[in-house]
A and B are shown apart, each in its own frame.
Chain A
């Protein structure tokens, strides 16, 4: 299969999203297969330029000042062949007082040996609001290596929320590295939900710097590892300004021969700042499991339901 022959519909057909839902002219969307932009539709206030590179695309995604994009923008990145490399460079600029939310699908349903990297620079302007939800769809082989990196800057009063979800198909190998700097009165929330099986390898580094007065941030990780999967979560939150508030929350469920590690670091350099953290790693809670088993579920079904809930 050649990259150029892939249609947006073929990409979306591997996800839970109906491509026809994007026919609404008020819904902006962009689709990239390998290094080709195979579909795009923009709405007023949203400027997107995409340059194809040898193994991917370099995208500038800009929401202009005071623009409010009412409906979520859909993005789809993917590789349908079994082998290949896809490198995405993203420069996201959400200008002052603008607002947008993005629902991104990254789909590699047939991957046997695929490398997908994302290198993002994100600036959320003063009092702007940016929400980015990224859902991965992987196949059953685990032949995907995913390396998403992002450097995020939140200007005064900006709001940024990101969710990374990889709970369908095999993870393969994933190495997330997100770092956000929050200026005064900005709000940051970074969530990751990943389910690993077989010999999947999960590495998460989420860092938040609360450098402005009143900045707030939450780092949340929900991980399940089964079989021989391994997960290592590094959450770091620093606060250097007065009235900065933060929380780090990591929960990992370990089944079978899975291995989970959580390394939360909280650092406060201002007496008026405050950060809390909680981490819980272990098997499924016995009380939860026995509650569901007392309703007739087998142990396996009970564990599955508890994990589904945690990762939902």
Chain B
């Protein structure tokens, strides 16, 4: 039994079934990756686990540490130890990086906040008093987001496309942060269609059409994803005369 269990989760948005009896377990302290083509339902699964407002009304269940959390609000889930890093993190006019990280931090001392920034290779002297706004580049904003997650010390971290908008040099820092989260005891769930990100994981799931299509080792899933998802083999089969 995993720390987080998704059981036959289905969600329809705008008349379209995005999650389709999705079932998956995540193991405590491990790094998992959910990979799949665009539109597979990966981000929707993450947002539904987090309980975001546009992703309520799912059927099935989400069980965390033995308890159903499907009826709980975002903040309640967060206070239980679940959190989410967005693909495109929000920007906040006037809110300083210090106060942004402090809002999440388990240890709210300035030393702890500086330490979180240093962990993502941002100089506290330069960044603490800057705002989390449009003056930050996409890569800087992503690292600030990760710093806040590190400071939070969550039990489960969902990271949606953690490499999005990141250059090669910064990507290494993102990977270091992922492994640091694991070293803190967090269960990490990477949502990605990047092989480089997928390779940071210990377990991989292939998602397709709202369900977990396959699972196993990173090598197994990455091999399948690279060779049979782009272009999609299932679509080719189902749309061919033989597939019918």
Q: Are B94 and A311 in contact (CB under 8 A)?
A: yes
Question: Is A291 a contact partner of B90 (Cβ separation < 8 A)?
Answer: yes
Interface positions of B from 98 to 131, Cβ below 8 Å from A: 99, 103-104, 131
Partner of A286, one of B53, B73, B84: B53
- B75 at the A/B interface (Cβ < 8 Å)? yes
Min Cβ gap B192→A in Å is: 19
Which residues of B119-177 have CB atoms within 8 Å of chain A's CB atoms?
A: 131, 148, 152
| Whole-angstrom CA separation of A33 from B50 in the bound complex | 55
Do residues A296 and B78 form an inter-chain contact, with CB atoms below 8 A?
yes
Residue A312 is within 8 A (CB to CB) of chain B in the complex: yes
Q: Does B63 contact A (CB under 8 A)?
A: no
> How far, in whole Å, are A308 and B73 apart by their CA atoms in the complex?
23
Known: A294-B74, A295-B104. A312 touches B86 (CB 8 A): no
**A292 contact set on B, CB distance < 8 A:** 103
* Neighbour of A290 across the interface among B52, B91, B92, CB < 8 A: B52
* Inter-subunit contact A308/B78 (CB<8 Å): no
Interface size on A, residues (CB 8 A): 25
Are A299 and B99 in contact, with the CB atoms below 8 A? Answer: no
Ordered by A's residue number, 13 sampled pairs between the chains whose C-beta atoms are within 8 Å are A285-B90, A292-B103, A293-B73, A295-B83, A295-B103, A295-B148, A297-B78, A299-B75, A308-B94, A308-B99, A309-B96, A310-B94, A312-B95
Measured CA separation A38–B6 after assembly (Å): 70
- 8 closest Cβ pairs, A-B complex: A309-B95, A295-B104, A309-B94, A296-B78, A293-B74, A312-B94, A293-B75, A287-B90
List residues 257-312 of chain A with CB under 8 A from any CB of chain B.
Answer: 285-288, 290-299, 301-302, 305-306, 308-312
Residues of A within 8 A of B90 (CB): 285, 287-288, 291
Residues of A within 8 A of B77 (CB): 294
Chain A, Cβ-Cβ closest to B50: A294
| CB pair B93 A309 closer than 8 Å | yes
- A302–B104 CA distance with the chains assembled, in angstroms: 11
Check: B60 CB closer than 8 A to any chain A CB.
no
Q: Report chain A residues within 8 Å CB of B89.
A: 291
- Is B78 a contact of A294 with CB atoms below 8 Å? yes
Complex CA gap A285/B74 in Å reads 15
Q: How far, in whole Å, are A299 and B84 apart by their CA atoms in the complex?
A: 16
Majority secondary structure, A binding face: helix
A116 within 8 A of B: no
Within 8 A of B (CB), among A216-243: 222
**Residue with the greatest number of chain A CB neighbours at <10 A, chosen from B73, B77, B90, B96:** B90
Give the residues in chain A near B78, CB-CB below 8 Å: 293-297
* A contact residues around B50 at 8 Å (CB): 294
Is the pair A290, B53 in contact by a Cβ cutoff of 8 Å? yes
Q: Is the Cβ of B74 less than 8 Å from the Cβ of A310?
A: no
Q: Which of B67-87 contact A (CB under 8 A)?
A: 73-75, 77-79, 83-84, 86
- Assess whether B131 is in contact with A294, with CB atoms less than 8 Å apart: no
Question: Bound state CA distance, A310 and B95, in angstroms?
Answer: 7
| B103 & A305 in contact (Cβ 8 Å cutoff) | yes
- Give Cα A293 to B80, complex, Å: 12
CB pair B75–A297 under 8 Å, yes or no, is yes
**Which residues of the partner chain A approach B83 to less than 8 Å between Cβ atoms?**
294-296
B92's partner among A222, A288, A294 (CB-CB below 8 A) is A288
The minimal Cβ–Cβ distance linking B10 to chain A, given in whole angstroms, is: 22
Q: B103 touching A251 by the CB < 8 A rule?
A: no
Min C-beta distance of B83 to chain A, whole Å: 5
Instruction: Among A288, A305, A310, A311, point to the contact of B99 (Cβ < 8 A).
Output: A305
Min C-beta distance of A312 to chain B, whole Å: 4
- Complex Cα distance, B46 from A202, in Å, reads 42
- Within B40-74, the residues touching A (CB, 8 Å) are 50, 52-53, 73-74
B95 touches A298 (CB 8 A): no
Q: Which residues of B contact A291 (CB under 8 A)?
A: 86, 89-90
Q: Which one of A251, A293, A297, A302 lies within 8 Å of B93 (CB-CB)?
A: A251
What's the least CB distance linking B161 to chain A, in Å? 15
Please give the distance in Å from A73's CB to the nearest CB on chain B.
25
Q: How far is the CB of B72 from chain A (nearest CB, A)?
A: 11
**Bound complex: CA A144 to CA B166 (Å):** 51
Provide the residues of chain B in CB contact with A286, threshold 8 Å. Answer: 53
* 15 additional contacts (CB under 8 A) given A295-B104, A308-B94: A286-B53, A288-B90, A288-B92, A290-B74, A294-B50, A294-B74, A296-B75, A296-B78, A296-B104, A297-B78, A297-B103, A305-B99, A306-B92, A309-B94, A309-B99
